[in-house]
Amino acid sequence: MNEAAFRVEGMSCQHCVMAVKKAVEGLKGVKSVKVEIGKATVKYDEGSVRPEDIERAITEAGYKVVKG
């Protein structure tokens, strides 16, 4: 089980938090998701999902993942 934290831009309210959480929870292999405005922490099974997949889900939900 791995854990990764993502800085997320474009979130400003609880609706944004729920949109990101729902997008990431829908990925096979994601075990838990904690989302706050500007940040998502994800525990996942590395055999089923990669950090790139999680980033893509966040981006497709309409938000930007910031590196670094």
**Each residue's pLDDT expressed in tens, for the chain with a length of 68 residues:** 999 999 999 999 999 999 999 999 999 999 999 999 999 999 999 999 999 999 999 999 999 999 86
| Number of structural domains in the chain | 1
- What is the model's pLDDT at position 61? 96
Question: C-alpha distances in angstroms, 55 versus 4, 49?
Answer: 10, 11
What is the chain's length? 68
How much is the mean pLDDT over the chain? 96
- Model pTM score: 0.92
DSSP 8-state symbol, 3: E
**Intra-chain end-to-end CA distance of the chain, in Å:** 22
Give the CATH number of the domain where residue 42 resides: 3.30.70.100
Give the structural domain span for 38. 2-66
Three-state SS at 26: coil
What is the residue type of 45? D
